[in-house]
């Protein structure tokens, strides 16, 4: 494995690896992805293998823009409106598979829909352009672990599984893309993420919330939305308004309880964008020997707070299942 600066040359090298069916980890604005050629069944199988991911949990295909997406999915007017507002960016659309779509059947786990998004990170875009094909990419972590927002997180968990990691620095959004199902009569939010519910509804009107949203329960429609996801090794306690001496505190806002063994503040000014960007790296930093438990202060359930609270609930869940992505 090598961690490389993204240059014209290293991106070209990465694209060659992808066209040869090899895997490359690359930055997106949300989290790092573990990429493979979305049209190559063996490359896609290698992604599942490297992550230790159950094969019934489908992958997102990454493209440059809406024009490219139309080759792979049955596009719609709603998709058009959303892409005009959010692409490139942290919104994944689930649409019916286009007839003759070359996207690997394994990538979609046999579903008749395809999850597709156009990332805004310039390195992701350069890689997709150079590869000349859609790139299937889940978050570049072992299945069930915390998503990577820095190249070194990828190196720690998948370093031995991937020949090249393109280092684009820390991810600016920090939580995964919003997954919105447009194959249903009413668009349905399958996973809250970097594009907020409020911003989506401002474009297309009211959307349905999958039952996974409030409770974090497993959903049939979004197989990746199982409870225990993004799990740190240490137990996580939510809605903490005070702390114990053996706890590490993930704080939010200006007023922080004292007495924790170690404290990281997601955003001292209570800015949800800053909190999302810091979430996974601070969870990792608190998940370390000497800390008995991770206590997390309450986060407002608006805007990016939906995605942050969703990931925190999963981090706190200990449901004994092993269905992770």
DSSP percent split of the chain into helix, strand, coil, nearest 5:
30, 20, 55
Report in angstroms how near the CB of residue 100 gets to ligand TXA at its nearest: 17
Q: Are 86 and 61 in contact (CB under 8 A)?
A: no
> In the complex, which residues of this chain contact ligand TXA (CB under 6 A)?
28, 30-31, 33, 57-60, 92, 94, 108, 111, 113-115, 137-139, 176-177, 179, 190-191, 221-225, 325
* # binding residues, Mg ion (CB under 5 A): 2
Q: Residue 235 Cβ, how far from Mg ion at the closest point, in Å?
A: 21
State phi, psi for 37 to the nearest 5 degrees. -60, 115
Listed in sequence order, the DSSP H helices in 54-184 are 66-69, 77-86, 122-131, 151-158
Cβ atoms of 250 and 296 closer than 8 Å: yes
174: left (phi over 0), alpha (psi -120 to 50) or beta: left
Binding characters for Mg ion, 242-261, by CB under 5 A (x = yes): --------------------
> Could you tell which of ligand TXA, Mg ion, none binds residue 58, using a CB distance below 5 to 8 A set by kind?
ligand TXA
When asked if residue 325 is in the footprint of Mg ion (CB under 5 A), the reply is: yes
Choose the one of Mg ion, ligand TXA, none that binds residue 113, judging by a C-beta under 5 to 8 angstroms depending on kind.
Answer: ligand TXA
CB atoms within 10 A of CB 254: 10
Q: Which residue's CB is nearer to ligand TXA, number 33 or number 248?
A: 33
Tell which residue, 193, 170, 167, has the closest CA to residue 180: 193
User: Which tokens sit at 173?
Assistant: 């959004």
Binding partner of residue 94 among Mg ion, ligand TXA, none, CB under 5 to 8 Å per kind? ligand TXA
Find which of Mg ion, ligand TXA, none residue 144 binds, CB within 5 to 8 Å per kind: none
Q: How far is the CB of 36 from Mg ion (least distance, A)?
A: 15
Measure the CA angle with vertex 241, ends 237 and 247; round to 5°: 50
248 or 325: CB nearest Mg ion: 325
Nearer to ligand TXA, 221 or 237 (CB): 221
CB of 181 to ligand TXA, least distance (A): 6
> At closest approach, how far in Å is the CB of 206 from ligand TXA?
20
**Choice between 139 and 227, CB closer to Mg ion:** 139
Q: Which is nearer to ligand TXA, 10 or 108 (CB)?
A: 108
Q: Which residue has the tokens 């040869």?
A: 20
Scanning residues 112 to 171, which ones bind Mg ion (CB under 5 A)? 139
State the nearest-atom distance from the C-beta of 247 to ligand TXA, in Å.
Answer: 28
CB of 200 to ligand TXA, least distance (A): 15
Alpha helices in the chain (DSSP H): 8-19, 41-51, 66-69, 77-86, 122-131, 151-158, 197-204, 212-215, 272-286, 305-316
Name the residue among 186, 216, 229 with its Cα closest to residue 57. Answer: 229
Residue 196, contacted partner among Mg ion, ligand TXA, none, CB below 5-8 A by kind: none
Residues that bind Mg ion (CB under 5 A): 139, 325
């Amino acid at each position: 494995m090598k961690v490389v600066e993204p240059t014209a040359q290293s991106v070209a090298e990465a694209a060659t690896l992808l066209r040869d069916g090899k895997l490359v980890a690359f930055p997106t604005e949300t989290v790092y992805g573990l990429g493979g050629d979305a049209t190559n069944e063996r490359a896609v199988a290698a992604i599942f293998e490297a992550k230790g991911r159950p094969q019934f949990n489908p992958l997102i295909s990454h493209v440059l823009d809406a024009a490219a997406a139309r080759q792979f999915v049955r596009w719609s007017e709603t998709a058009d409106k959303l892409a005009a507002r959010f692409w490139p960016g942290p919104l994944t659309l689930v649409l019916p598979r286009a007839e003759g779509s070359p996207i690997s059947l394994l990538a979609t786990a046999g579903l008749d829909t395809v999850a597709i998004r156009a990332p805004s990170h310039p390195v992701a875009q350069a890689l997709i352009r150079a590869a000349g094909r859609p790139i299937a990419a889940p978050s570049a972590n072992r299945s069930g672990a915390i998503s990577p927002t820095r190249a070194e997180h990828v190196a720690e968990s998948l370093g031995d599984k991937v020949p090249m990691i393109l280092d684009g620095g820390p991810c600016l959004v920090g939580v995964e893309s919003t997954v919105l199902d447009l194959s249903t009569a009413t668009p349905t939010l399958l996973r809250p993420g970097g594009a907020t519910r409020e911003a989506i509804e401002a474009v297309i009107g009211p959307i349905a919330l999958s039952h996974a949203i409030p409770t974090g329960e497993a959903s049939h429609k979004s197989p990746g939305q199982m409870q225990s996801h993004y799990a740190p090794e240490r137990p996580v306690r939510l809605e903490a308004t005070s702390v114990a001496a053996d706890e590490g505190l993930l704080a939010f806002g200006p007023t922080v309880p004292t007495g924790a063994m170690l404290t990281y503040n997601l955003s001292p000014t209570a800015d949800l964008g800053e909190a999302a960007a810091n979430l996974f790296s601070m969870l990792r930093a608190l998940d370390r020997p000497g800390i008995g438990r991770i206590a997390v202060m309450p986060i407002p359930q608006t805007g990016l707070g939906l995605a942050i609270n969703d990931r925190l609930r999963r981090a706190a869940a200990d449901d004994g299942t092993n269905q992770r992505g």
